[in-house]
Amino acid sequence: MDAVDKLFDGKGWIAVYGAGYVGLALMAVYLRKGLKVIGVDIDPSKLEEIKQGAQNVIEEKIKEAVRMGVEENRLLLTTDGVRASADSIVKVVTVPVYLDWITKDVNYDSWIAAMKDIGEGLKEGDLVIIESSVPPGSTEYKAKPVLEEASRLIAGRDFYLAYSPERVYIGRAVEDIEERYPKVVSGIGEKSLELASKLYEKIARKGVIRVSRPMTAEFEKLAEGVYRDVNIALANELALAAMNLGVDFYEAREAANTQPYSHIHFPGPGVGGYCIPIYPYYLVNSLLERKHVMKLTITGRQINENMPLTIINLLENYRRKIGIPQSSKVALLGVAFRGNVDDTRLSPTHDILGLLKARGYQEIIVHDPYVKHDPILENLHIPLTGSLREALENAEIILILTRHSQYKNLTTTNIKEITGRENPLIIDTTTYIKNNGNYKNIITLGKPHNL
C-alpha cells in the first residue's frame, strides 16, 4: 500500500507547510475529503486563528471545513515542522519564495527552511509535493538536494518528490481546487509523478495534466501570471490612449472582444497581490542569468508599476484645474488588491498613498469593507474605516481603487450627498461609479471626460 492509499484509508496524515491563503485552502480541501491533516506554520498566532475557526477568512467553505476538522480531531496545528514531517506520510509545501520588492532579489530562506524540516523527518515511501510558485529549476536544483542531504534518502527511489503549482483565485479557492481547474503535475521520476497524480485525481474533478519535468510545471505557472500581467498592461495602455483620444475604452473593448482572438482585459490602478506582480521577476531574473532579456515582460511590468503615478498625475492635474486645495480631505475607497477579498499584499493603493504623502497631502482616509487591519496604513498613520459615510464625509477628493461589490451601488449623486461638498473631484479606476447627474468633476480611467 503506497502513501496515497494509506492516506485515503485513514492510516496516515498529510502535512501542509504554510498556513496562508493557499495552505489553508488546501487544508480545507483535504479535510472535506475526509483526510487527517497537520497544518504547519512558524507563526503561532496564525495557527491559533485557524484553531478558533478561521473567522477572518471570507470563504465559508474553508471555515466550515476547519470547524469540522477541529471537532473531529482530524486537524492538528503545529509550529514544529520536523515533527509534522515525521508524523505524516504526505507533505505539501505552500511556503512562499519571497521577492525583495525594492531590489527584486529572490529570497529562498523560508522555503529552504521548510525543506530542511521536512527532510529531517522524512521516511522511506513518503511523498513531498511542492505547490509554491517558484523560479524555474527550484524543485530539482534547490529542494531536491536539501531534502536528500537532510534525510540521507534519494528522491525518486527512497522518497517521492513532485511539483504541482497552486492554481487558485483568492475568495473561491476551494471551488478552484475541487471543481474549476485541472491539476498540473510533475515529478522526479515516474513513481513520484504517479503518486502525485493519484492524489490529485482524487481531489480535482477536472483531473490531472501530467508534464515531463518539474521545471516545465514551474514555468507553466509563471507563464500564467506573465500572461495576465502583460495583458493588463496592454489594457492600461489602451485605456490611457482612449482617454487621450476622447474614446470610451469600455465600449471599444466590448466590441473588440466579440472577435474570438481578442481578450482585452480591464485596466486598473496597478496590479497587486503576491502572484502576478512577482512571477515576471522570477522568470526575468532566471533568464538574465542566461543572458536572455524578456523585453515584453519587463515593459508590461513597468507599465503596471507606473499606474499609481499615472493616477496621482490625473488627480493633481484636475485638482489644480478645479481649484481644490491640497489641504482638502482625500478619501480612498479600497485597499485590497482585488475586489471582494481582504488581501492587501502589494496593493496599488499602498503606492498611491505613498505618493499622496510625498506630495504633501495630509488629511487622508481609506475605506474597505473587507480589510480590518493593514500594517502599511498603520505605519503611515492613515486611518482605515469600514464606514463609507465616515470616509466620504467632507471629502473633496475621492479615489475608487478596488472593485468591491459595495461600490457598484454608488452614484455621483450619492457621493456628493455624503461628502456634503458641491463639486468634489471623483477619480474612478474601476468604472463602478454611475454618473447619474451628468456630473462634470469625475474622471473615469478609460473614459472621455468634460473637465
Give the DSSP H/E element, type plus range, for residue 68.
helix 60-71
Angstrom distance (rounded) from CA 4 to CA 318: 62
Angstrom distance (rounded) from CA 346 to CA 376: 10
Which of these is catalytic: 91, 183, 221, 329?
221
- Block residue for cell numbers 482605515: 384
- Block residue for cell numbers 485552502: 25
Instruction: Output the DSSP codes for 313-364.
Output: HHHHHHHHHHT--TTSEEEEE--SSSTT----TT-HHHHHHHHHHHTT---E
Residue 238's closest CA among 228, 229, 248, 223? 248
* Phi and psi torsions of 333, nearest 5°: -100, 105
Q: Is 275 a catalytic residue?
A: yes
Contacts of 446 (CB under 8 A, 6+ apart): 238, 239, 240, 242, 243, 248, 249, 250, 267, 431
Q: Is 329 a catalytic residue?
A: no
> For residue 416, what is its C-alpha cell?
456628493
Residue 168's closest CA among 10, 20, 4? 20
Residue 33's closest CA among 201, 195, 209? 201
Angstrom distance (rounded) from CA 244 to CA 138: 44
Q: In what order do the strands lie in the sheet with 395-400?
A: 384-385, 364-367, 329-333, 395-400, 425-428, 442-444
Tell me how many degrees the CA angle 172-175-177 measures, rounded to the nearest 5: 105
Which of these is catalytic: 144, 183, 198, 275?
275
* Phi and psi torsions of 449, nearest 5°: -145, 165
Could you tell me which residues are beta bridge partners of residue 367? 333, 385
Query: Which of the residues are catalytic?
Result: 221, 275
